[in-house]
Chain A
């Protein structure tokens, strides 16, 4: 059986949470797997690998993306942010603090994706209405909380930044 030959691997350079990485990766390696297993940044989780649940959401060049729907090679040259880069050491980002204060997490598996989606949402809409928050986070699934406290947490941060 004749198979078309592609390069099996490629060297990529990415900047993740401010740190430069240069790695050789198989061309079919998912960005999510690259982040989790090659870079050891396991705060990004995989819930469906179909691009539906949003657990793997990260920020790539200022846009929230699903890292399960991208190959690592597509991130070559990009600037990425994951949950590990959100806090300043152990000083929480306001969204992390608001999630804690509002009991916006239970099992925690979806939390990383929600935080990164919320970062992107507030970046683009600093004063979202409740409707806009619900819509903005509707690409992330949570099976534990029923969302109400996640919405409250995002509202709380939006209100803080206005005052």
Chain B
């Protein structure tokens, strides 16, 4: 693993450089921060799903010793703007915006909605005082599910809309009617995904401090997007952005959830400024589960038209999505179904597609982005329909996929939705995954097991993961954010390198992979590269880490910056040594003449001259070794993979036991296989949670029922098998080094592969498998339904 400085760190199995301080307990998460005179916040949250606030009495709370202030929605109505997601109507014509007040002044819209903030000397006192705030509510009937939200007499979540529809979109591409007329076989189903949650181990939290002398605010927050948070705080609090510094310290997981600015962060920042004392808020787990952001809850009704040979002629789908009470910034809570529709064709050549997306507001926590955003349900829909088609046409599930997949030589392939899939290995990844399983042997074992009353099943889930969307793609979505990423690279007088990045690593290992990329370009050792992130005062404006973007965009920025400084070093070295620049290279900390591999000058020597002895430089060269680069990636970079699940269903208990789980992934050029495999294994664990265990549950009155991790079930070490991983490397022709993003992929296909495997296991009973999570209770009721209505399922 020691290939430092030899130009071959790309692809090396390097242990993570960030690990020792974590293992030795030297990290600093936001709750570890202690400032003098720091106060603590506890929020008063709504116990009702839908109610009018008729009165708030803060007197008892205010008089409790240790309480500094109580803030309600009416107090800040004029001073803090609400979060509001607005789109360019040219691009998103049918979207209704809503105000998400940071403390609601009049009406609560979900259990956990923010009513008041109580500030006290410590968290214990603040929580006690929060219980003393008396709020009178006039409860309304709740909009508790997305289908009833559309009824004509449904209560209104946002009265000014006139109905509960946040966004509706319809499109037809290709001749869908003709496809269905000419079909030999049509399959259709209604698919439902649970309300899942990212639920990182570290909840949300922030600390804000106001410097009276400079009137500057510093905000430490557990966020994936420090720069975006800073811009939001400035806008919502009407402050100058350059007076706010956001620091994202160590962050204990995000998975998309922490890629949104939150009302609580705005309130805490406001309070620190108003009280002129540092203020801390650390979310508890119940708050997190009920009142952060939930995800992925959709009902998809879909129909597929096929020819008798299994080729797909067309697809129709309606995506109904439950946005919850408000809309999350910046993508909006209507992004989930749009992304599902935009990605549903996956690795397949589908000649005609029509769809409708409809996002409705309900009285639940709002929907945000979470690992995979829309693609897991798109893959569930597509992959289940293919299996259903294969069954009707008496084809093998693998065969029907191989027939419809984009072939290697058809790349770059432009999808119906207009995305160019630049390269990929769809058939090869499927074939390799089946080989790892020993597909034919498993089928034989399955037959034998059935004779013994045991039900084994195998299921496939193939997908394409669009990563690292560029600015033009977000512009076409109508979302006002950048897709580029920035890096400032600095070589100091000792020849050591510091890179300042706009991305944010919270487990992804960026320090290691960026150092690998820089080490290769500048010929320095891995340990001579320091990575600085998560501080808006130190780093150039970037967009943070989400959407599997950092390897491509952050990696592109640091590599481009390193290339610029390498060129400068070589240019100046050429003048100083009188050797042509194209005969020079940077190797093992020195400028070396390629011819004869002669070391001419060490990088520290050269750096010292460029920085501290500028008079010795050629007159057309600027002193210093600092460069800032903004790297704009190609529109979308596509990874692909196939997952294969082999499992057993206990028909007595409904329990699903995973026997094997295989992933063959192609994310182009791999920077560090240890990290790629770790992302796959971890993503699959989350996908297994979505497929089998996890759901945030509300009752018919919109009451939240899963407020602890004993109710919202995250998979444990006893539930997640060792994933068997295979790799194919098909580089992107467009990105630096051919790298493709891959962070979300692991979580995308488990619902599809596992649902297909459960359907396969239970095929003797003709069970409809159309809903995740496949909890034991649900599996049993699917079996019951099939047995009471044989032939109709």
Instruction: Please report A residues at the B interface, Cβ cutoff 8 Å.
Output: 26, 28-29, 36-37, 40-43, 45-50, 52-53, 55, 82-84, 86-87, 90, 92, 96, 99-101, 103, 105-112, 115, 133-135, 137-151
What residue of chain B has the Cβ atom nearest to residue A101's Cβ?
B15
Please indicate the chain B residues that have their CB under 8 angstroms from the CB of A45 in the complex.
29, 31, 201-202, 252
Neighbour of B19 across the interface among A41, A84, A99, A141, CB < 8 A: A99
- 22 A-B contacts (beta carbon < 8 Å): A40-B34, A41-B25, A42-B32, A43-B27, A47-B202, A47-B203, A50-B708, A50-B709, A96-B23, A107-B251, A108-B252, A112-B25, A115-B23, A141-B201, A141-B709, A143-B253, A148-B720, A148-B721, A148-B722, A149-B681, A151-B717, A151-B722
What residue of chain A has the Cβ atom nearest to residue B685's Cβ?
A146
Task: Kindly name the residue among A26, A105, A110 whose own CB sees the greatest number of chain B CB atoms within 10 A.
Answer: A105
Neighbour of A138 across the interface among B29, B199, B201, B716, CB < 8 A: B716
Give, as a whole number of angstroms, the nearest-CB distance from B141 to chain A. Answer: 31
CB-contacts of B237-253 with A (<8 A): 250-253
Neighbour of A103 across the interface among B15, B710, B717, CB < 8 A: B15
Extra pairs beyond A100-B16, A140-B717, A145-B685 (15, CB < 8 Å): A52-B708, A86-B25, A87-B23, A90-B24, A92-B23, A101-B15, A103-B16, A115-B23, A137-B716, A143-B200, A145-B682, A146-B746, A147-B716, A147-B717, A148-B723
Give, as a whole number of angstroms, the nearest-CB distance from A152 to chain B. Answer: 8
Residue pair A108, B507 in contact (C-beta under 8 Å) = yes
Residue pair A47, B717 in contact (C-beta under 8 Å) = no
Residue pair A52, B124 in contact (C-beta under 8 Å) = no
Give, as a whole number of angstroms, the nearest-CB distance from B506 to chain A. Answer: 5
Give, as a whole number of angstroms, the nearest-CB distance from A67 to chain B. Answer: 14
Instruction: Please report B residues at the A interface, Cβ cutoff 8 Å.
Output: 15-16, 19-20, 22-29, 31-32, 34, 124, 198-203, 250-253, 255, 284-285, 506-509, 674-675, 677-678, 681-686, 708-710, 714, 716-718, 720-723, 746
Please indicate the chain B residues that have their CB under 8 angstroms from the CB of A49 in the complex.
284-285
Query: What separation, in Å, do the CA atoms of A157 and B685 have in the docked complex?
Result: 24
Give, as a whole number of angstroms, the nearest-CB distance from A103 to chain B. Answer: 5
Residue pair A43, B25 in contact (C-beta under 8 Å) = yes
What residue of chain B has the Cβ atom nearest to residue A47's Cβ?
B201
Given contacts A42-B32, A45-B252, contact A106 B678 (CB under 8 A): yes
Please indicate the chain A residues that have their CB under 8 angstroms from the CB of B34 in the complex.
37, 40
Residue pair B22, A105 in contact (C-beta under 8 Å) = yes
Neighbour of A146 across the interface among B26, B508, B684, B710, CB < 8 A: B684
Residue pair A109, B201 in contact (C-beta under 8 Å) = yes
Please indicate the chain A residues that have their CB under 8 angstroms from the CB of B508 in the complex.
106
Query: What separation, in Å, do the CA atoms of A112 and B716 have in the docked complex?
Result: 16
Please indicate the chain A residues that have their CB under 8 angstroms from the CB of B29 in the complex.
42, 45, 109
Query: What separation, in Å, do the CA atoms of A55 and B29 have in the docked complex?
Result: 13
Please indicate the chain A residues that have their CB under 8 angstroms from the CB of B720 in the complex.
146-148
Query: What separation, in Å, do the CA atoms of A101 and B20 have in the docked complex?
Result: 10
Query: What separation, in Å, do the CA atoms of A48 and B19 have in the docked complex?
Result: 24
10 tightest A-B contacts by CB?
A43-B25, A109-B252, A146-B685, A107-B507, A106-B507, A108-B22, A146-B681, A42-B32, A52-B709, A48-B285
Query: What separation, in Å, do the CA atoms of A135 and B708 have in the docked complex?
Result: 21
What residue of chain A has the Cβ atom nearest to residue B286's Cβ?
A50
Residue pair B284, A108 in contact (C-beta under 8 Å) = no
Task: Kindly name the residue among A48, A83, A96 whose own CB sees the greatest number of chain B CB atoms within 10 A.
Answer: A48
Neighbour of B23 across the interface among A100, A109, A147, CB < 8 A: A100
Given contacts A50-B710, A107-B252, contact A147 B685 (CB under 8 A): yes
What residue of chain A has the Cβ atom nearest to residue B18's Cβ?
A108
What residue of chain B has the Cβ atom nearest to residue A85's Cβ?
B25
Neighbour of A135 across the interface among B22, B27, B678, B718, CB < 8 A: B718
Query: What separation, in Å, do the CA atoms of A43 and B710 have in the docked complex?
Result: 24
Give, as a whole number of angstroms, the nearest-CB distance from A96 to chain B. Answer: 4
Give, as a whole number of angstroms, the nearest-CB distance from A48 to chain B. Answer: 4
Query: What separation, in Å, do the CA atoms of A89 and B203 have in the docked complex?
Result: 30
Query: What separation, in Å, do the CA atoms of A143 and B685 have in the docked complex?
Result: 8
Please indicate the chain A residues that have their CB under 8 angstroms from the CB of B708 in the complex.
48, 50, 52
Give, as a whole number of angstroms, the nearest-CB distance from A135 to chain B. Answer: 6
Residue pair A138, B717 in contact (C-beta under 8 Å) = yes
Residue pair B717, A105 in contact (C-beta under 8 Å) = no
Please indicate the chain A residues that have their CB under 8 angstroms from the CB of B674 in the complex.
103
Query: What separation, in Å, do the CA atoms of A115 and B27 have in the docked complex?
Result: 15
Residue pair A107, B253 in contact (C-beta under 8 Å) = yes
What residue of chain A has the Cβ atom nearest to residue B202's Cβ?
A109
Please indicate the chain B residues that have their CB under 8 angstroms from the CB of A37 in the complex.
34
Residue pair B723, A110 in contact (C-beta under 8 Å) = no
Please indicate the chain B residues that have their CB under 8 angstroms from the CB of A86 in the complex.
25
Query: What separation, in Å, do the CA atoms of A115 and B32 have in the docked complex?
Result: 19
What residue of chain B has the Cβ atom nearest to residue A110's Cβ?
B201
Residue pair B285, A47 in contact (C-beta under 8 Å) = yes
Residue pair A46, B31 in contact (C-beta under 8 Å) = yes
Please indicate the chain B residues that have their CB under 8 angstroms from the CB of A151 in the complex.
717, 722
